Amino acid sequence: LFWQTRSQDMSGPVTEDQEKLLDEALSVVKLQAFQMKRCLDKAKLMDALKHASNMLGELRTSLLSPKSYYELYMLITDEMRHLELYLLDEFQKGRRVQDLYELVQYAGNIIPRLYLLITVGVVYIKCSEISRKDILKDLVEMCRGVQHPLRGLFLRNYLLQCTKNVLPDCVEEEQEDSGSVSDSIDFVLLNFSEMNKLWVRMQHQGHTRERDRREQERRELKLLVGTNLVRLSQLDTIDVQRYRSVVLPAVLEQVVNCRDALSQDYVMECIIQVFPDEYHLATLQDFLQACAELNPAVPVKNILISLINRLSAFATRDGSNGIPSDIPLFDFFSEQIAKIIENKPDLSPEDLVSLQAALTGLALGVYKDREDYVDKVLETTNSGLDKLGVEHINDHSNLSRELMKLLKLPIDLWNDALVLLRLRHYSPLLQRLDSPTKKSVSAYLLQNMLNNGTLVPSSEQVEQLLDLVRCLVADPGADAAAAAADATATNSLGGDPGDGSANGAGPGSEADNEDLAEEQSLLGRVVHLFSTGPDLLDEQFGVLKTARRILATGGGRRVKYTLPPVVFHSRQDSDDKWRKKCRKIFEFCHSTVCGLAKCELPNLALRLFVDGALVVDKIPFDQHDTRMTCFAAENHEPLRSQTVHAASKLLRKPDQSRAVAACAHLFWSGRPRELQGAEMRDLKKVGECLKRAGRLASQCMDAGLQAQLYTELVNYYLYFVLQSAGQSGSSGAACVRSVWSVSGVV
């Protein structure tokens, strides 16, 4: 009971005092116990009882803290077992001690008297069940004499422990004399309500400044009270009927009337935990009714959440019959929660949300196909938050956490984002969150889609989805137009086109960019799920168009990640059946890539073009002329020279040399439009490139590397010589000359 908390609490001198007092008490107990056992060995029962009484007298102390008192109690009750066993043994041998039950009541002090009475009473019951009913009734009544909370709680706990296995557990008809289960119920219920009263009374004793300590002490003692309910739950004869008509009403009456928050909180929770689910189902209305009557300080939502979770688990557990159809579980809870929200104007928004989350869990667990339930809950939540005037939800606030939990629930339980899209109130709720949390929920949703391979088959759905996760698609608060403006703005700012980070707004940091990259890659991956299936190519195209339209609003930083998948995805589907569309598709790709190019992402655009060219190459596609329309003649030229320029700017000389040499091909095999598809074979430029490469190679310090570069260069020359051999002789000769000049250098 106290082991967990032993190390905490109590500080300094108090601890020392307690230890000293406890040690003294324990040593008295040990001595008296020893003498008691010795007297028992000599069969001097009366003397043994006297020592037992002395020992029990230690429990009269008012000086010990609950923890120390508990230790003392444990030792003493342990020793009392010896007495009980001795008496049982004697009684079973037929040496019944006359009037023992009366005899122990001569003790002048009530605490030892009642402990002895309980011990002897239980021995009587164990030996003969005839008077069991009477004895039980007598014991629990006589315990009223101890009104001191701590001592009373432990005394009654002793009563409960001792009678553990002797409570009548049969229906009335079977055993008239020795008592039936209703006697047991009366017994435990009375004990329970008395213990609860004592427990509650603890709160009101002593100084107000010690309130926290008292509450702590009371928490430590709560199990004593709860044991009563455990005992009730162990009585097999208590069926649903009896539970509903006798047990629960009594427990609820006690708990509601005590008006103590701590007690109500604990006992309600206890009821939920110790009794079977079927019982809860049968008594739901009563229980919920009681919940509404609790002290306003009781966190009712915890109780409800606990109950809902339990019932949800029950409904989904294997082997259970599920929730009986005649119990409108959801409606019950939904009404009840509405009532609570109504009755508690001071209910915090996070409590409201966590209540609704539990309700969502129930709807999802028990009524998997009732989307309307979930939507209803979300609606209530939304309007509830409205009523509470919640406008801004800070990150890291409890409310934000709770709302996130709520929003993740349907994602987890349905594993189907499409259903979410059908909920009218999911998105508004999501949009309430502050940006980082919103993003994290959105990302969670996307990840879930990826894990489950949820395909998004229609443009409307794509639109809805992207609208739902719009925090990822575009900058927060920016609509499409603003995003576009933003994109232009970043464009005009310029910066290194190869590095996305330069495009970031002012506060953009490294970490932000990492996050952004992660989110956007996720979004990019999801694009691949925008798929209608193989037979609906038109729709597929439409879907992708929609996706592009929306994704394009994301601004430079995002499209970098999001549009390429669109491109790739669109190509992926270009199989045989789709030939007719190919042109359209390529046009689509082209414009997309152009869009990228506009966003100062030429490298990416280039790669995409190259990739596109590869695809075009592989498929039987007769409209090749379109493929390079992307490169207009006017930008082809600068592009080539720029490439060379870039190549010569590489860091290491060998790299420069190799790159520049490779650029020579640009001027050879390029097919600008003015030549009608013929290779341009600009020998002069090729020569320039190679010469430049040769010059760069000559600057290389490492002789071995230099030699290798020259060898490579010779290879290039040879290639071009061979290529040009069939052409005009003059150029061929020039080439050969060049080759030789290089060789000469080598």
Partner 1 sequence: MSFFGFGPSAEIEILLDGSDTRKAAELKLEDGRKERFPLYYDGETVSGKVNVVLKKSNGKLEHQGIKIEFIGQIDLYFDRGNRHEFVSMVRELARPGILTQNASYNFEFVNVEKPYESYTGSNRLSDLVKEQEICVHTLAQYPDLNSSIKMEVGIEDCLHIEFEYNKSKYHLKDVIVGKIYFLLVRIKIKHMEIQVIKREIAGSGPNALNENETLAKFEIMDGAPVRGESIPIRLFLSGYDLTPTMRDINKKFSVKYYLNLVLVDEEERRYFKQQEVTLFRKADKKRRPIASNMIERGIFHHRTAQFGGPQPPPQQPQQQTVESPELETGSTHVSPAMPSKPVAAAGQSEEPDDDEAEADDDEEDEDEEPEAEDEDNDGDRQEDRDSKNGQL
Binding segment toward partner 1, per CB under 8 A, in 138-146, 160-168, 464-472, 529-537: 138-146
Binding segment toward partner 1, per CB under 8 A, in 96-104, 312-320, 518-526, 671-679: 96-104
Burial of 422 (0-12, 13-18, 19+ CB in 10 A): middle
Does the footprint of partner 1 cover residue 203 (CB under 8 A)? no
Q: Pick from 92, 109, 394, 743 the residue near partner 1 by CB under 8 A.
A: 109
Are the C-beta atoms of residues 713 and 745 closer than 8 Å to each other? Answer: no
Binding segment toward partner 1, per CB under 8 A, in 141-149, 441-449, 626-634, 645-653: 141-149
Residues 300 and 308: their CA atoms lie apart, in Å, by 12
In the complex, the smallest distance separating the C-beta of residue 137 from partner 1, rounded to whole angstroms, is: 7
Q: CB atoms < 10 A from the CB of 531, how many?
A: 19
Residues 569 and 705: their CA atoms lie apart, in Å, by 43
Closer to partner 1 at the Cβ: 144 or 317? Answer: 144
Q: Pick from 15, 27, 92, 147 the residue near partner 1 by CB under 8 A.
A: 147
Q: Pick from 56, 65, 77, 149 the residue near partner 1 by CB under 8 A.
A: 149
In the complex, the smallest distance separating the C-beta of residue 392 from partner 1, rounded to whole angstroms, is: 48
In the complex, the smallest distance separating the C-beta of residue 149 from partner 1, rounded to whole angstroms, is: 7
Q: In Å, how far are 227, 249, 582, 661, 724 from 694, measured between CA atoms? A: 93, 99, 44, 8, 20
Does the footprint of partner 1 cover residue 497 (CB under 8 A)? no
Is the four-CA dihedral 228, 229, 232, 234 of positive or negative sign?
Answer: negative
Closer to partner 1 at the Cβ: 87 or 363? Answer: 87
Closer to partner 1 at the Cβ: 190 or 543? Answer: 190
Binding segment toward partner 1, per CB under 8 A, in 197-205, 225-233, 532-540, 584-592: 197-205
Are the C-beta atoms of residues 155 and 119 closer than 8 Å to each other? Answer: no
Q: Pick from 151, 214, 640, 685 the residue near partner 1 by CB under 8 A.
A: 151
Are the C-beta atoms of residues 279 and 235 closer than 8 Å to each other? Answer: no
Closer to partner 1 at the Cβ: 152 or 524? Answer: 152
Closest-CA residue to 161 (of 230, 85, 68, 64) = 230
Closest-CA residue to 335 (of 277, 259, 284, 372) = 284
Are the C-beta atoms of residues 574 and 585 closer than 8 Å to each other? Answer: yes
Does the footprint of partner 1 cover residue 141 (CB under 8 A)? yes
Closer to partner 1 at the Cβ: 99 or 510? Answer: 99
Does the footprint of partner 1 cover residue 34 (CB under 8 A)? no
Residue numbers 205-224 binding partner 1 by CB under 8 A: 205
Q: Pick from 47, 129, 134, 277 the residue near partner 1 by CB under 8 A.
A: 134
Residues 717 and 533: their CA atoms lie apart, in Å, by 51
Binding segment toward partner 1, per CB under 8 A, in 102-110, 249-257, 334-342, 486-494: 102-110
Residues 285 and 291: their CA atoms lie apart, in Å, by 10
- The three-state DSSP-derived secondary structure of 530-569 is CCCCCCCHHHHHHHHHHHHHHHHHHCHHHHHHHHHHHHHH
Size of the site for partner 1 (CB under 8 A): 35
Does the footprint of partner 1 cover residue 130 (CB under 8 A)? yes
In the complex, the smallest distance separating the C-beta of residue 197 from partner 1, rounded to whole angstroms, is: 8
Binding segment toward partner 1, per CB under 8 A, in 21-29, 103-111, 256-264, 320-328: 103-111
Are the C-beta atoms of residues 334 and 376 closer than 8 Å to each other? Answer: yes
Closer to partner 1 at the Cβ: 89 or 496? Answer: 89
In the complex, the smallest distance separating the C-beta of residue 103 from partner 1, rounded to whole angstroms, is: 8
Binding segment toward partner 1, per CB under 8 A, in 146-154, 391-399, 458-466, 655-663: 146-154
Closer to partner 1 at the Cβ: 145 or 276? Answer: 145
Q: CB atoms < 10 A from the CB of 456, how many?
A: 24
In the complex, the smallest distance separating the C-beta of residue 57 from partner 1, rounded to whole angstroms, is: 11
| Structure tokens belonging to residue 292 | 């509404």
Closer to partner 1 at the Cβ: 130 or 493? Answer: 130
Residue numbers 40-79 binding partner 1 by CB under 8 A: 60
Q: Pick from 52, 72, 146, 166 the residue near partner 1 by CB under 8 A.
A: 146
Does the footprint of partner 1 cover residue 128 (CB under 8 A)? yes
In the complex, the smallest distance separating the C-beta of residue 196 from partner 1, rounded to whole angstroms, is: 13
Helix (H, G, I), strand (E, B) or coil at 461: helix
Does the footprint of partner 1 cover residue 303 (CB under 8 A)? no
In the complex, the smallest distance separating the C-beta of residue 145 from partner 1, rounded to whole angstroms, is: 5
Does the footprint of partner 1 cover residue 96 (CB under 8 A)? yes
| Structure tokens belonging to residue 118 | 């309980």
Does the footprint of partner 1 cover residue 257 (CB under 8 A)? no
CA-based radius of gyration for the chain: 42
What are the E-state strand segments in 160-271? none
Q: In Å, how far are 28, 71, 190, 224, 440 from 110, measured between CA atoms? A: 19, 21, 20, 21, 64
Does the footprint of partner 1 cover residue 123 (CB under 8 A)? no
Closer to partner 1 at the Cβ: 134 or 712? Answer: 134
Q: In Å, how far are 17, 448, 536, 537, 724 from 533, measured between CA atoms? A: 79, 20, 6, 8, 50
Closer to partner 1 at the Cβ: 101 or 719? Answer: 101
Closer to partner 1 at the Cβ: 121 or 504? Answer: 121
Q: Whose structure tokens read 């107000």?
A: 208
| Structure tokens belonging to residue 130 | 């005839």
Does the footprint of partner 1 cover residue 108 (CB under 8 A)? yes
In the complex, the smallest distance separating the C-beta of residue 185 from partner 1, rounded to whole angstroms, is: 17
Helix (H, G, I), strand (E, B) or coil at 477: coil
Are the C-beta atoms of residues 315 and 322 closer than 8 Å to each other? Answer: yes
Burial state string for 704-735 with b = 16 or more CB within 10 A and e = fewer than 16: eebeebbebbbebbeebbebbeeeeeebbebb
Q: In Å, how far are 45, 287, 331, 332, 662 from 326, measured between CA atoms? A: 62, 17, 12, 12, 79
Closer to partner 1 at the Cβ: 147 or 415? Answer: 147
Closer to partner 1 at the Cβ: 83 or 523? Answer: 83
Does the footprint of partner 1 cover residue 15 (CB under 8 A)? no
Q: Pick from 7, 8, 98, 325 the residue near partner 1 by CB under 8 A.
A: 98
673 DSSP assignment: G
Does the footprint of partner 1 cover residue 674 (CB under 8 A)? no
Q: Pick from 37, 82, 148, 259 the residue near partner 1 by CB under 8 A.
A: 148
Does the footprint of partner 1 cover residue 106 (CB under 8 A)? yes
Residues 591 and 568: their CA atoms lie apart, in Å, by 13
7 DSSP assignment: T
Are the C-beta atoms of residues 559 and 552 closer than 8 Å to each other? Answer: yes
In the complex, the smallest distance separating the C-beta of residue 252 from partner 1, rounded to whole angstroms, is: 19
| Structure tokens belonging to residue 622 | 């007769």
Closer to partner 1 at the Cβ: 128 or 285? Answer: 128
Does the footprint of partner 1 cover residue 259 (CB under 8 A)? no
For binding to partner 1 (CB under 8 A), which residues are involved?
A: 60, 96, 98-102, 105-106, 108-111, 113, 124, 128, 130-131, 134-135, 137-138, 141-142, 144-149, 151-152, 197, 201, 205
